[in-house]
Amino acid sequence: MTGVILEAKDIVRDYHMRGGLFTPARTVHAVKGVSLSVEKGKTLAIVGESGSGKSTLARIITMIDAPTSGELRIEGEKVDIARNGLTPEMRRKVQIVFQNPYGSLNPRQKIGDVLAEPLLINTSRSAAERRDMAMRMLLKVGLEEKHFNRYPHMFSGGQRQRIAIARSLMLNPSLLVLDEPVSALDLSVQAQILNLLADLQDEFKLTYVFISHDLSVVRYIADEVLVMYLGQAVEYGSRDAVFSDPTHDYTKMLFAATPRADVESIKARLARKKAA
């Protein structure tokens, strides 16, 4: 289980904003020279507040947007969608799971059809094969056969995210980008989805890029952490190194503002609340 799945070098993304009647044209530097790499079977967490550039970087990694400059490689193959477009094979290698699963599911499609659709579009498998593979993936993410012919509105938020994860895995991707996948869920459901992701990673040797602002979640799931601030990578290293000895002032500020999630810290907070 070795080898680099994702490599990015000096990624820059600029947005040129047109001027208005009273405002001049300007350039927004959303990502400023970010480099990273992720080995097979590992999880890189990209952390930062809103506006830090982490979601823009995720769009570049998933080949939705092209970088202004820099180099992106997936399994060693250079990706340049601005010049060469995107081949179906490259598209299959990278899939994404969004924060809002309901917004990414067609409300008029039954769940079985939602899962089988990537196979219909990208493979030549028969209808029976597509159905069998969709059913097996549905069970793999903790849902039941009876859910196969139901519609998205009939599921809870956690179940919808399980469906979104299942759909992202139908084409056996090399890299899965998870953009705030649990931030809209209750804490108990968050834990279930994180455990599911860990189990799937072990079983399928998946590689994750996990976008989040929640450091307690990052500490649980990440192998390496990249902290972004105003479009720049200000901290990058192993999870244990970053959490035990952060070097950048912004990282230290993030940690100081995040309540600890261990049992003793929670008990202490409840005791202080009761005393107050």
Give the tens place of pLDDT for each residue, 207-258: 999 999 888 899 999 999 999 999 999 999 999 999 999 999 999 998 887 6
Percent of the chain residues topping a pLDDT of 90: 74
Domain 4-275: what homologous superfamily? P-loop containing nucleotide triphosphate hydrolases (3.40.50.300)
Burial of 19 (0-12, 13-18, 19+ CB in 10 A): exposed
CB contact at 8 A, 105 and 163: yes
* pLDDT given at position 268: 57
* Residue-by-residue DSSP string for the chain: --SEEEEEEEEEEEEEEPP-SSS--EEEEEEEEEEEEEETT-EEEEE--TTSSHHHHHHHHTTSS--SEEEEEETTEEE-HHHH---HHHHHHEEEE-S-TGGGS-TTS-HHHHHHHHHHHH----HHHHHHHHHHHHHHTT--GGGTT--GGGS-HHHHHHHHHHHHTTT--SEEEEESTTTTS-HHHHHHHHHHHHHHHHHHT-EEEEEES-HHHHHHH-SEEEEEETTEEEEEEEHHHHHHS--SHHHHHHHHTSPP-SHHHHHHHHHHHHH-
φ, ψ at 33 (rounded to 5°): 70, 50
Q: Strand 26-39 vs strand 43-47: parallel, antiparallel, or unpaired?
A: unpaired
Q: Of 242, 192, 191, which Cα lies nearest the Cα of 46?
A: 242
Write down the mean pLDDT value for the chain: 90
Q: Strand 175-179 vs strand 94-97: parallel, antiparallel, or unpaired?
A: parallel
Residue tagged 């409840």 (tokens) = 270
Q: Give the number of residues written for the chain.
A: 276
Q: Of 74, 64, 60, which Cα lies nearest the Cα of 104?
A: 64
* pLDDT given at position 198: 95
Distance, in Å, from the CA atom of 215 to the CA atom of 221, rounded to the nearest integer, reads 10
Q: Is pLDDT larger for residue 139 or for residue 104?
A: 139
CA distances from 25 to 17, 21, 22, 75 (A): 6, 10, 10, 38
The one-letter amino acid at 118: P
> pTM, whole model, 2 decimals?
0.88
Confidence class for position 153, pLDDT limits 50, 70, 90: very high
Q: Where are the domains of the chain?
A: 4-275
Instruction: Tell me the average pLDDT across 48-66.
Output: 93
Give the tens place of pLDDT for each residue, 154-200: 999 999 999 999 999 999 999 999 999 998 888 889 999 999 999 99
Statement: residue 269 has pLDDT above 70? no
